[in-house]
Structure formats: C-alpha cells, structure tokens
Chain A
Amino acid sequence: DVKVTQSSRYLVKRTGEKVFLECVQDMDHENMFWYRQDPGLGLRLIYFSYDVKMKEKGDIPEGYSVSREKKERFSLILESASTNQTSMYLCATLRDRGVQPQHFGDGTRLSIL
C-alpha cells in the first residue's frame, strides 16, 4: 500500500525562523507535491517536483523553497517564517505523469507565532 509520511503532525515555530517540513514516500513515485490548505481556500499548490533535483513553482511559491536530493524525500522550506504561513501543509505523490490519483500524507499543521 502507498505510504506518504510527513515528519510532524503539529509544529509550532516563531516568526523569522527557518522551518523545514519533510515528506517521505515509499512507492518510488517520480512526482511529489506540496500544498497548503486554508479554510475557504481549499488546497493550493506551492511547489512540485518531477524528479530528483527538479522543482517547479506552483500557484503560491512566494516565501517557500523546496529540496529534493533523493527520490523518496521532498522537503518544503520556509526561509523566514511569517504568521501568514500558519496553515495545514499537505504532501502528495504521483507515479509517472499520469492520471492516477495523487496519494496524500496526513498533513502538518504549522503555527507561526
């Protein structure tokens, strides 16, 4: 069965801190995605990656960066956290380019104080 693991379910950080959110998958999927989910806004794509060391901006990349040094791990980085980045963050994976459904992790609820 597909398994997408996000390192933390809940995280509290302070304004200005550098924050790392980690996502690990065990299915050898090429594609990985980071979304943020906010009430009334649904899921919005931050960044995605189609291969190791490859990354593409999504719809709302400002204030974020990503790293994919290994196929199974995709990290989302908040370079200098701000309160408006308080949100639920969801990682997803997808095999090939395909039309199969994305597989999601449980999410990380991040609070920036």
Chain B
Amino acid sequence: AQKVTQAQTEISVVEKEDVTLDCVYETRDTTYYLFWYKQPPSGELVFLIRRNSFDEQNEISGRYSWNFQKSTSSFNFTITASQVVDSAVYFCALLQLTGANSKLTFGKGITLSVRP
C-alpha cells in the first residue's frame, strides 16, 4: 500500500530563516511520481513540483529547492530565506498509476508559519 509521511505537523520560523519540510514515502511501484502542493489561507491547493521516480536530480526554483533521494525514500523541500508569504500548509503526495487510472495519496500536511 502507498503511504506518505510528513512527520512534522507545524513549523514556525522567523523571516529570512531557511526551513526544510520533510517527506518520506512508501510504495512498491518502480514507476511513481511525487508532488508538492502549497495551500495558502485562501484554501486552493497550488502545485509546486512533480518528480518522477527515474529522475533523482535535485531541483531549484528561486528560493525553493527539492532533494529527492530514492535510497531513503525521501523527497524533502527547502525554502531559503523564508518570507511571510510562504506561510501555508504544504502537502507532499505520491501518484500511483493503477491500470487505467491514477491515484494520488497525500501526506497529512505541514503547517508553516513565517513570522516577521
């Protein structure tokens, strides 16, 4: 069975600090996809990144970076020089391709608060 664990439930940092959000996943599939979504107070989930299981290259997008390590089944997300606008709930998710369908399994989310 698929599982996504986000062990951190709430993180609070002061603006300009770096922060890392952890994500550990379990799957028996050899082909799978990992996602990070951001949910600001407005409620809508905003897609941040997708990574497939064959691409272990780390990715950087501005202040955001992602570290994918298959050896530890982790897909961690780092925000550098955090800002108040980064305050949100962040979800890690695992996509399983099942026959003709696909199923997304979410972690429980991490609430990040960035204080001025």
Contact = CB atoms under 8 A, between A and B. Distances in A.
Q: Tell whether A pairs with B.
A: yes
Contacts of B9: 40
Interface residues of B, number: 24
B44 A94 contact: no
Contacts, number: 56
Interface centre among B6, B42, B107, B108, by most chain A C-beta atoms within 10 angstroms, is B108
Interface in B18-50: 33, 35, 37, 42-45, 47, 50
Q: Bin the interface of chain A by size.
A: 20 to 34
B40 to A, nearest CB: 10
B102 interface: yes
Interface of B: 6, 9, 33, 35, 37, 42-45, 47, 50, 52, 91, 95, 97, 100-104, 106-109
